Structure 1
Amino acid sequence: MARTQAADYEERREAIVERAAELFAQRGFLGASVSDIARACNTSKSLLYHYYPSKEDVLYAVMASHIDRLVEDVESVESGPGGADERLRRLLHLFMEHYVGAASRQKVLLNELDNLPDDKRTSIVARQRRLVDAVQKLLVEADPSLAGDKGRARARTMLLFGMINWTGNWYDPAGAVKPGEIAEMALEMVLRPVGR
Structure 2
Amino acid sequence: MARGRAPNYEATREEILAQAARLFANLGYAATSMNEVAEACGVTKPTLYHYVRDKHDLLMQICQTHVDELVALVQEVQGRGLAPREHLQALVCRFMHVYGQAQHQHRVLTEDLRFLQEADRQRLQALERQVVQAFADAVLALRPELRGHKLDKPVTMLLFGMMNWTFTWLRPDGAFSYESLAPLVAELFLGGLMALQPTTPHTTP
What TM-score do you get using the length of structure 2 for normalisation?
A: 0.88
The match for 2:185 is: 186
The structural deviation recorded for 1:164 is 0.4
CA RMSD of aligned residues (A): 1.8
Q: Deviations over 1:60-112 (max 9, x none)?
A: 11111111111111001112122111011011111111101111011101000
Change (3 A) 1:143 1:173: farther
In the alignment, does 2:28 pair up with 1:28? Answer: yes
The residue identity in structure 2 corresponding to 1:186 is: V
What TM-score do you get using the length of structure 1 for normalisation?
A: 0.91
The structural deviation recorded for 1:174 is 4.0
The match for 2:159 is: 160
In structure 2, what is the Cα distance between the partners aligned to 1:180 and 1:19? 23
Q: Deviations over 1:132-156 (max 9, x none)?
A: 000000000011221323x311000
Contact 1:143 / 1:191 at 8 angstroms: preserved in 2? Answer: no
Segment of structure 1 superposing worse, 179-188 or 153-162: 179-188
Contact 1:100 / 1:173 at 8 angstroms: preserved in 2? Answer: no
Question: Structure 1: which 5+ runs fail to align?
Answer: none
Number of residue-to-residue matches in the alignment: 195
Q: How does 1:1-196 map to 2 (within 5 A)?
A: 4-149=4-149, 151-193=150-192, 196=196
Question: Structure 2: which 5+ runs fail to align?
Answer: 197-205
In structure 1, what is the Cα distance between the partners aligned to 2:172 and 2:30? 28
The residue identity in structure 1 corresponding to 2:123 is: S
In structure 2, what is the Cα distance between the partners aligned to 1:147 and 1:181? 32
Contact 2:34 / 2:55 at 8 angstroms: preserved in 1? Answer: yes
List 4+ stretches of structure 1 deviating above 4 A: 1-4
The residue identity in structure 2 corresponding to 1:168 is: F
SS state at 1:193 partner: helix
Q: Deviations over 1:4-43 (max 9, x none)?
A: 4222111111111011000000111101011111111111
Contact 2:97 / 2:182 at 8 angstroms: preserved in 1? Answer: no
In structure 1, what is the Cα distance between the partners aligned to 2:172 and 2:82? 29
The residue identity in structure 2 corresponding to 1:137 is: D
Contact 2:100 / 2:179 at 8 angstroms: preserved in 1? Answer: no
In structure 2, what is the Cα distance between the partners aligned to 1:2 and 1:79? 40
SS state at 2:7 partner: coil
The structural deviation recorded for 1:51 is 0.8
In structure 2, what is the Cα distance between the partners aligned to 1:137 and 1:57? 33
